[in-house]
Structure 1
């Protein structure tokens, strides 16, 4: 009996100490010829440990509450034996309430990253000074993951996490790496974070909240009503488009949700999607062939 009690307490302790992220990590080094390929196995393991074993918040997450996400780093060039250039793809998903379905909430490509990596050197983040571009990248995306997930459960629910990510951006600028500054071009980490925190783009965050919590999560209770909410949340992005036609976050939204939108509104019960289709074709014509699959 005592052994059972001890085991139970240990298991309970493990559940209480579970960290926030359930992050799959993959390092793709197929594009480069490096004699010591083992370094990428060690790198992959170290990044996995950093993302999944760091305590990112003061909240208690049970094992089943951990946020599903993945990071794929494509190594495109070895600048030296321990310095690399490449790209990073981040994917975040969450379960839909009372369903076996999981929905993608962010699919983001960071097309220009560079960093140094020393085998067996601990990855440690210092919030007040720049030490490592790799650690800054991982920490930025950890807080971004937490922010995105929270935004789907409450309007601007991820605000504090995005501000923590902003601090990472500000400190990382000391290192001079690409993607941390306003002048580094479009579709960068800087631009993603700046847009998320700007009042100008609040409609995007409102859409994320309404689409997920008031729409997808209520599909099981009233599918038709949930679809109406989702449709309105998407068409409301037109206001943002009218003010900022080249809005980065509109591209981010549809790169993430495009296929799902077609699947949801092509399945029964049907609602009138004529306005939705018109708005989609206007604000994101890149997917016009996809939008034609929507039945009016």
Structure 2
């Protein structure tokens, strides 16, 4: 589905303004939480300082050469849950990332990534400056944060332009290559499934190209025209999701299918359980097939 001329012109004008006027705002508006409830520690202030340092690093670093208006910053929530503190400066746990994207002509924020990484392990000294060096590995914490920042930037850009996030996913790949020097898990092919390595490798792989195509069509051809034509928008969203069937047919257990469904399942159900009806039989059948873990959700889709 193509935009009407008026919407095209509005979007082009907005993009022109973004490219023309220099803004001081950074790209991300991140809420950072460090949860240490499960760790018995006498120095709770350390975790407060860690949270402040991470927030400052993510929100006050200029990650791209693009200029963002304050309202254009990507909203995200990053939660580090510390499960172990083996020694004074060593920490283990998990990190969750939730990022959203605004929908055209709406106040709605659509989730573009809802992901939990259970392989969080890092060293941190209180009041340590978090600085990323593009030429050498220095900190696993900084590498993990930087990797997910570029991944969020990449997925966000992919939702506005077909493969528009390529440069950011390539930056994330560079982070991986450097982090492999640190000896921490999650950065190498041999580290197993559902790792940072696998996430980035899959996103960049031609084998899974329909993942990024689906992101683009789902948002730009679907959600972004919802205010103009709900039935057409829903039809386009259905077509976008059906593209994932191509991945399933070659890789039934593809990691990116889980990433997409963990992020979009609730939204898909909301879209297709209310409002104007379209023929969603094929959509529901495909969802039941490719991601049966959410069958209770898919049953709510009205066909």
Q: Structure 2-normalised TM-score?
A: 0.92
Alpha-carbon separation, structure 2, partners of 1:59 and 1:260: 29
Q: Does 1:214 align with 2:221?
A: yes
Shift of the alpha carbon at 1:220?
0.6
Matches within 5 A, 1:144-293: 144-293=151-300
Q: Does 1:138 align with 2:145?
A: yes
Aligned to 2:126, what secondary structure does the other structure show? coil
| Deviation sequence 1:245-265 (CA, Å, 0-9, x none) | 110000100011001101001
Matches within 5 A, 1:16-27: 16-27=23-34
Task: Tell me what 1:12 maps to.
Answer: none
- Name the count of aligned residue pairs: 282
Task: Tell me what 2:51 maps to.
Answer: 44
Task: Tell me what 1:104 maps to.
Answer: 111
Alpha-carbon separation, structure 1, partners of 2:65 and 2:109: 26
Alpha-carbon separation, structure 1, partners of 2:214 and 2:23: 32
Alpha-carbon separation, structure 2, partners of 1:164 and 1:200: 20
Alpha-carbon separation, structure 1, partners of 2:243 and 2:141: 37
| Deviation sequence 1:116-144 (CA, Å, 0-9, x none) | 11111211111111100011011111111
Alpha-carbon separation, structure 2, partners of 1:77 and 1:164: 30
Shift of the alpha carbon at 1:239?
1.1
| Deviation sequence 1:66-89 (CA, Å, 0-9, x none) | 100111000000021111000000
Alpha-carbon separation, structure 2, partners of 1:200 and 1:97: 30
Q: Which runs of 4+ in 1 moved over 2 A?
A: none
Alpha-carbon separation, structure 2, partners of 1:223 and 1:202: 27
Q: Flag structure 1 segments of 5+ consecutive residues without an equivalent.
A: 1-14
Q: Structure 1-normalised TM-score?
A: 0.94
Alpha-carbon separation, structure 2, partners of 1:190 and 1:274: 36
Matches within 5 A, 1:44-83: 44-83=51-90
Task: Tell me what 1:114 maps to.
Answer: 121
Alpha-carbon separation, structure 2, partners of 1:79 and 1:285: 38
Alpha-carbon separation, structure 2, partners of 1:120 and 1:272: 57
Alpha-carbon separation, structure 2, partners of 1:130 and 1:100: 40
| Deviation sequence 1:172-208 (CA, Å, 0-9, x none) | 0000111101111111111100000001100000000
Alpha-carbon separation, structure 2, partners of 1:239 and 1:120: 48
Alpha-carbon separation, structure 1, partners of 2:226 and 2:196: 33
Task: Tell me what 2:12 maps to.
Answer: none
Task: Tell me what 1:6 maps to.
Answer: none
Shift of the alpha carbon at 1:112?
1.1
Alpha-carbon separation, structure 1, partners of 2:296 and 2:120: 32
Q: CA RMSD in A?
A: 0.8
